Amino acid sequence: MVRNKFVADYQINASKKIVFHYLSTASGLEEWFADNVRIDEDKNYIFNFDNEDHYARLASLRSNAHVKFDFFDPANPDDSNHSYIEFKLEENELTQSLFLKVIDYSNDYEEEELEAIWDGLVHRLKEIIGG
């Protein structure tokens, strides 16, 4: 199975604190990223896209800076060959501009498809936060 690593930077005109809420909470992610986001009793995130559940663990989190979700198959949770999505907030010190870096490591889409998907998702996020 071939995995693709997609990396893109998007300028966002909002504060880190506001943007981070939309990257790290179930309610925030549900507004722009997935149709529905739940957290189960084991603290796994369940992202629903097109009526299909995708399970993820919160792999790392640094407040107002970074969040990473490791996706896994609930039938085989110990499989180490999995996809992940990582969001990083980076500030350009010279211009004081805030950038959202998206890292999507998955096997479902080609580079061009991922670019179109992420462009649309981040556009939706910007509309919500006004940035």
Query: What pTM did the predictor assign?
Result: 0.91
Which range marks the domain in which residue 41 is found?
Answer: 4-129
Measured CA to CA, the distance from residue 108 to residue 98 in angstroms comes to 29
User: Considering its fold, how many domains does the chain have in total?
Assistant: 1
Give the domain CATH number at 54: 3.30.530.20
Mean pLDDT by 10 residues, the chain (131 residues): 82 94 97 96 94 95 97 82 92 90 86 92 95 66
CB 30 within 8 A of CB 48: no
CB 22 within 8 A of CB 128: yes
CB 8 within 8 A of CB 85: no
